[in-house]
């Protein structure tokens, strides 16, 4: 009896099958698949019962570049990366997969045969993505794709999601890149970009020259004001000096300097003159007394002359010394 119970227990334990994490399951019996979709866990599976599985994890797939003939009869390419996950809300569509498709992983008729996400993507998502790629993008010219890239991407993403909303997989993200334009468009864009750079450079240079010219104008204005002030200063100075200097003042300063120059044993001063008939001195044209000397200054000249006569310095000129001038 004990042996019988042990054998019965072993048989019962061997009649359960697991549904691993990241999967859903459905059992197949003699009458076909059962109604329920099974969450991860272990379930009874006797006799001819078989446990089929389906992956329900998120996965990303890349669709190879396709040649798309655009409205201007030029080919254009771009790559698409699509992230998908299980549409667990579409239970009817999920159940149909078990009855319509052959599991791509494992052996049919054996426990654990699995429908993979890659298998479902190739069946339900990839064809739609490629079809919408052509229908949406081919409506534009390649030149328009350059200018309306964001708009076209949004149209494409919306079209794919709308077409797959009742699928067993949910499109959760679409990334588009690696744009491959025809050479004529690429060259045109490069020429346009180069022209834009040249225009910007020219504008910057012109702005710089204008700024430098403005700075030169401002500097010239400052210099002009400085020169006007300097000229006005000189004019005012000359005006003041001119108003304060008289011929008598100049003659006085001349005599003052001559007096200092006459100091010393061997110093003398010669003032060109001619002697008149009455014995008076007649000064040369450059020191006419009527122009430079008044009576007080003339007296000073005679005084200096007398002081000079008293000195013992030799008469180096070899001519008679003039007599004092009478007042």
Nearest CA-CA partner of 133 in 83, 81, 182: 81
pLDDT at 82: 96
What stretches of the chain adopt beta strand conformation (E)? 16-19, 23-29, 32-33, 41-44, 50-55, 59-63, 68-69, 75-86, 114-115, 169-180, 273-275, 281-283
Rounded CA separation 74/70 (Å) = 6
Residue 122: phi and psi, rounded to 5, are -65, -30
- List the beta bridge partners of residue 42: 18
Please state, rounded to an integer, the average pLDDT across all residues of the chain.
79
Region 270-282: what's the mean pLDDT?
Answer: 66
For a pLDDT cut of 70, what percent of the chain falls above it? Answer: 70
Tokens of 118: 């890659």
Least confident of 60-69, 123-132, 202-211: 202-211
Domain boundaries of the chain, sorted by first residue? 61-89+121-181, 183-244, 255-310
Q: How confident is the model at residue 31 (pLDDT cuts 50, 70, 90)?
A: confident
Residue 32: is its pLDDT beyond 70? yes
Residue 145's Cβ-side half-sphere holds a number of Cα atoms within 13 Å equal to 28
Residue 189: is its pLDDT beyond 80? no
pLDDT at 316: 45
pTM: 0.54
The dihedral of CA 258, 259, 264, 265: what is its sign? positive
Region 211-233: what's the mean pLDDT?
Answer: 85
> Topology of 61-89+121-181 in CATH?
Tetrahydropterin Synthase; Chain A (3.30.479)
Rounded CA separation 299/303 (Å) = 6
Q: Which helix (H) or strand (E) holds 47?
A: none
pLDDT at 9: 43
């Amino acid at each position: 009896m004990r042996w019988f119970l042990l054998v019965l227990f072993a048989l019962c334990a061997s009649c359960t099958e697991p549904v691993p994490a990241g999967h859903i399951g459905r059992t197949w019996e003699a009458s076909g698949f059962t109604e329920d979709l099974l969450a991860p866990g272990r379930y009874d599976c006797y006799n001819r019962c078989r446990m089929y599985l389906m992956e329900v994890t998120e996965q990303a797939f890349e669709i190879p570049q396709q040649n798309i003939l655009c409205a201007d009869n030029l080919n254009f390419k771009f790559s698409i990366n699509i992230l998908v996950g299980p549409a667990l809300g579409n239970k009817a569509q999920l159940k149909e997969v078990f009855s319509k498709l052959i599991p791509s992983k494992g052996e049919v008729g054996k426990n654990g045969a699995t429908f993979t996400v890659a298998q479902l993507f190739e069946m339900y998502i990839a064809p739609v993505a490629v079809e919408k790629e052509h229908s949406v993008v081919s409506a534009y010219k390649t030149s328009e794709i350059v200018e309306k890239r964001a708009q076209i991407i949004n149209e494409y993403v919306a079209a794919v999601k709308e077409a797959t909303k009742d699928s067993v997989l949910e499109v959760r993200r679409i990334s588009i890149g690696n744009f491959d334009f025809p050479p004529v468009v690429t060259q045109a864009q490069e020429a346009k970009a180069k022209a834009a750079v040249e225009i910007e450079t020219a504008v910057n240079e012109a702005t710089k020259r204008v700024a430098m010219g403005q700075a030169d104008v401002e500097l010239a204005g400052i210099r002009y004001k400085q020169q006007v002030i300097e000229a006005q200063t000189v004019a005012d100075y000359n005006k003041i000096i001119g108003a304060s200097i008289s011929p008598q003042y100049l003659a006085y300063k001349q005599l003052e300097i001559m007096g200092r120059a006459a100091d010393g044993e061997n110093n003398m001063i010669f003032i060109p003159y001619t002697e008149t008939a009455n014995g008076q001195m007649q000064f040369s044209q450059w020191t006419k007394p009527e122009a430079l000397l008044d009576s007080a200054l003339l007296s000073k000249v005679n005084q200096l002359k007398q002081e000079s006569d008293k000195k013992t310095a030799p008469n180096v000129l070899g001519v008679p010394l003039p007599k004092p001038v009478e007042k």
